[in-house]
Chains A and B, each alone.
Chain A
């Protein structure tokens, strides 16, 4: 909301208080000031001049050559094109070098052969009015040579207050309310305003009926003889200062009263209203009306209408209707000043996306006692402007409203305890009184009368009074205290510990970069991955189209980040720890299942032909998963074919890891489906070897943990030997690993596959596997004889598998 310093001065004496000071004080005691700027600062550069002489331009019919006195001794010659310029006028003069709005710099110039030393300005050129038909003729009493801003008392500062910080303060949506705060802050009185009715005729009150509790009060006042003429300068300038475009004095006055007291109001042309009068009712299903902005609005039973007879003429509290606009000379007007239910106005305004100055105020819960004062204020101001105006009848004041003013009991000790500061009773009561509360001693505390302006919304509890005292006393004057409490170590959170372990292991040993991704996932990506058919929870108002789904898993977002990063790096390893949301298939409104996941994606330049058999991203990533799960102290893992492979997985190269007791998969690991390389941009120049995995943190937390894994160091030296076997190509490596275990009869401490070879030397369709084997006994030093026994048994087992032992050498 914009507040004018000069406007505030109508309500309170601000002598000695700068606009800067005022902004600081409002920020520290009342509401956040977002900014302040001078109103029309160029008016300080424009000076009052007197036109001493005006002669016609020798070479141009429409131009005049004026001699202008700026009170500086030497007169200026100014060529002026305005028809209304004349000798004897006081005018606004921009001299050479002055910059007008729109970055328009006044230069010395020759106009049709006559040198002009400045410009006589119109209101529009100075942005303080619409008038451009002629120059701005100033008050003859304006001080010669003075800046126009000072000569006309137009120096003003516009203060912008953050609307969010006024959400709970309907009373602060007008200058009077802000002035009330300043009165409390500066210990100064508010200037009185006359809220009594002007002379009212004894005609018949206008008929008004309220058919719904959504309108607690409706006050209508008939006005005769008003003219929709231009407003006087003071009114136009105040409105301009706070960003309102002056229209005519009826519209301007309506806005003025709203911005002055915070009470929206509306004027209807009585000619346009039905003889039956006004009816306030809820709209009917399927009803329509055209609002002042020309839009046709489809309405329903939640929308509150002001009707003339049965025809809607205004969307209550939001906007008037096209039909009843007041224009030109009208015989009789109806001034509406009402109170509408905040929630009703808010709902309609949100649904229609129609936010107006009026709706912003009504939705804050306005004081129902305010309409009468606002109507009287309007009437008195109008009569000041147009003395011929008459009020032919008493106001019609209907509605089932009650004064919300109430009384709270306040223990001063409570104020001191909750603020943590020894504020004496007399300061507490003084602050409350300055803010307009009534305070009376009652027992050992006080009985505090909350004014109606503060009663609709934010002051209901004694805690609310604590805030009043605290903010005016200033929170900055409360010294800090330390809490005293028994502090025990908080309970350990296994999930948080696991998350940290996973993050540390991946970022550390795994050399992965941690990402934090968006929870929303794009349709385009899901389509690329063939996941568009999976049920996803959606938002109805996404940030952008195609971004309405909430992700179930993390890998898709990571896969999406591979291509741009592969353009930059040969080896891209990304992970994310986060949540996925799986909707309940039976009930889309039910809370979705939240799952905790770690997603991993690894893309490298394609593996070269001569690389080790396990150089692929898939193998590398498998090692990482094993390491992470081991780090997470999962007792033991096994890999098995994946029952439900994710959409992005290579149909054959996909595995899942399970714990010792089977149960849910701890992790799923797969190579990226070759069919997805192209759609994901991982082909051509950025062809990549890609693997991805997802760890279920929930499953890991549920899996049995290994205890300490310390084992005593071997007491006897072991034997290291390498074995190589040639096998039919289809035999799995696990068969050989089992054969090694079996041949060792419990003495195999380790067996590591280090080579897989296919080639001529092992024969067509066959492969060779080579292992480093360590034999170890806890009872004795193993001898060459033990090694020979092992090799003999191993050879037999290999031959059973259709293979042959190619070599078996001890190191």
Chain B
């Protein structure tokens, strides 16, 4: 039987050799089909059984099954090997160009004024301030009269007001301060509010002036408010904006709706020795502020002997320009995507 056994072993060895020679899954599949398919060698062997002499039949059947198992095992193991080789090849990462650029990310942007406004709104809200809105087309009463700037007040000159058609009582608001007067009318003290928004001044446009710009007004009404509290609040505010303790100085400033009125200058955060931003003075004029004028409190229906407070104004456009070192204010409202997409 050794002959026939060795003869029987031969097809399996042959099959194993052919399987091992397969370089890809398609070739392997073809070999597999040749042996194990419906018309394959194993099937033919089994089909030939009835034609065999009865004594041979068990042997043929056994050999056929052994061939089937052997081929199957060889195919499975070679398939695993091929898959492994493929993973190995992939893992070698041939042809990978690490310098290939990714697709351009598509992105939109929030306007830098929006970004700074939000940051300040959040800062103030965290300190208990309410954020208010006011109309851009304002009445003479709120823009001037209620703020202690009566009709013939010389301070009106510096406001370079845009006047609306009609009987003259409508103006484009020249500052966000009218929201102070509106807030005093609408809410009961104590009060902490800020009001960001657009303002308008009829002045000639250049790199540092635009007739449309943004401000944020602040108003605090409480009992026993002093200049010392104002200084404290302004320092806290600047710390929030610039993330550092800036040296500040308070000097007299004249705004009819505050008394006393101040200009608060901060040490220029951009230089040690004087630069373009601070016009070489090392101080930047940041915050006009002051104690709310008793007349303004009275206009708002409050008794100045009972209530006091302070108000301040922040130039948002200026703050945006300072923060990003923007050299031309006209970019802010210019709507150029090359500017907008930088933020």
Contacts and interface: CB of A to CB of B under 8 A. Distances in A.
A116 to B, nearest CB: 40
Contacts of A28: 249, 251-252
B172 A564 contact: no
A30 interface: yes
Nearest to A499: B114
B227 A572 contact: no
Given A463-B259, A572-B337, A594-B137, A511 B228 contact: no
B251 A27 contact: yes
Contacts of A466: 260
Given A493-B131, A513-B108, A463 B254 contact: no
B229 A589 contact: no
Interface in B197-215: 198, 200, 202, 204-205, 211-212, 214
B333 to A, nearest CB: 6
Contacts of B335: 515, 517, 557-558, 561, 565, 574
A611 interface: no
Given A463-B259, A487-B127, A512-B108, A363 B337 contact: no
Contact of A480 (B167, B228, B333): B228
B185 to A, nearest CB: 15
B331 to A, nearest CB: 11
7 contacts: A363-B152, A463-B291, A475-B249, A507-B108, A539-B163, A558-B335, A565-B335
Given A475-B251, A540-B164, A487 B337 contact: no
A594 B135 contact: yes
B210 to A, nearest CB: 9
B130 A514 contact: no
Contacts of A169: 254
Interface string B161-179: 0111111011010000000
A481 B128 contact: no
Contacts of B125: 489-490
B303 interface: no
B137 A417 contact: no
Interface in B206-248: 211-212, 214, 220, 222, 224-229, 231-233, 235-236
A291 B99 CA distance: 78
Q: In the A-B complex, list the 5 residue pairs whose CB atoms are closest, starting with the nearest.
A: A420-B228, A420-B226, A343-B152, A487-B128, A589-B166
B108 A511 contact: yes
Nearest to A487: B128
B139 interface: yes
Given A517-B333, A565-B335, 5 more contacts: A417-B224, A496-B121, A503-B110, A514-B114, A539-B162
B313 interface: no
A539 B212 contact: no
Interface in B120-159: 121, 125, 127-131, 133, 135-137, 139, 151-152, 154-155, 157-158
B263 interface: yes
A542 B204 CA distance: 11
Interface in A488-505: 488-491, 493, 495-496, 500, 503-504
A518 B333 contact: yes
A418 interface: yes
Contacts of B118: 500
Residue from B111, B164, B341 with most neighbouring chain A CB atoms (10 Å) = B164
B228 A421 contact: yes
A533 interface: no
Secondary structure of the B contact surface, majority rule: mixed
B108 A539 contact: no
A437 to B, nearest CB: 16
Contact of A519 (B200, B260, B262): B200
Interface stretch (A160-168, A247-255, A671-679, A754-762): A160-168
A621 to B, nearest CB: 14
Contacts of A487: 127-128, 192
A516 B333 contact: yes
Interface of B: 106-111, 113-114, 118, 121, 125, 127-131, 133, 135-137, 139, 151-152, 154-155, 157-158, 162-167, 169-170, 172, 190, 192, 198, 200, 202, 204-205, 211-212, 214, 220, 222, 224-229, 231-233, 235-236, 249-254, 256, 259-260, 262-263, 291, 293-294, 304, 308, 332-333, 335-338, 340-341
Interface string A528-546: 0000000001111111000
Nearest to B293: A463
A224 interface: no
B319 to A, nearest CB: 14
A346 B137 contact: no
Contact of A539 (B109, B172, B204): B172
A19 to B, nearest CB: 16
Contact of A481 (B113, B152, B211, B229): B229
A196 interface: no
B260 A467 contact: yes
A322 B224 CA distance: 58
B227 A516 contact: no
Q: How large is the interface on A (under 10, 10 to 19, 20 to 34, 35 or more residues)?
A: 35 or more
Contacts of A632: none
Given A514-B111, A568-B338, A572-B337, A167 B154 contact: yes
A537 B137 contact: yes
Nearest to A587: B166
Contacts of A402: none
Contacts of B225: 483
B144 to A, nearest CB: 14
A485 interface: yes
B226 A515 contact: no
Given A487-B128, A490-B128, A561-B335, A419 B227 contact: yes
Contacts of A470: 227, 260
A106 B150 CA distance: 57
B259 A461 contact: yes
B260 A511 contact: no
Given A483-B222, A490-B125, A568-B338, A165 B228 contact: no
Contact of A564 (B109, B137, B200, B336): B336
A213 B7 CA distance: 140
Nearest to B204: A543
Interface string A681-700: 00000000000000000000
A294 to B, nearest CB: 25
A478 B260 CA distance: 14
Contact of B202 (A541, A573, A594): A541
A417 B226 contact: yes
A569 interface: yes
Contacts of A481: 226, 228-229, 231-232
A550 interface: yes
A29 interface: yes
Nearest to A29: B252
Nearest to B251: A28
A475 B262 contact: yes
A328 B302 CA distance: 62
Given A470-B260, A565-B337, A478 B294 contact: no
A799 interface: no
B195 to A, nearest CB: 11
B231 A478 contact: yes
A408 interface: no
A644 interface: no
A168 B262 CA distance: 14
Contacts of A520: 212
A579 B136 contact: yes
A537 B154 contact: no
Nearest to A168: B254
A57 to B, nearest CB: 49
A485 B307 CA distance: 14
B128 A488 contact: yes
Contacts of B131: 490, 493, 496
B227 A539 contact: no
A127 interface: no
A79 to B, nearest CB: 43
A503 B226 CA distance: 39
A558 B335 CA distance: 8
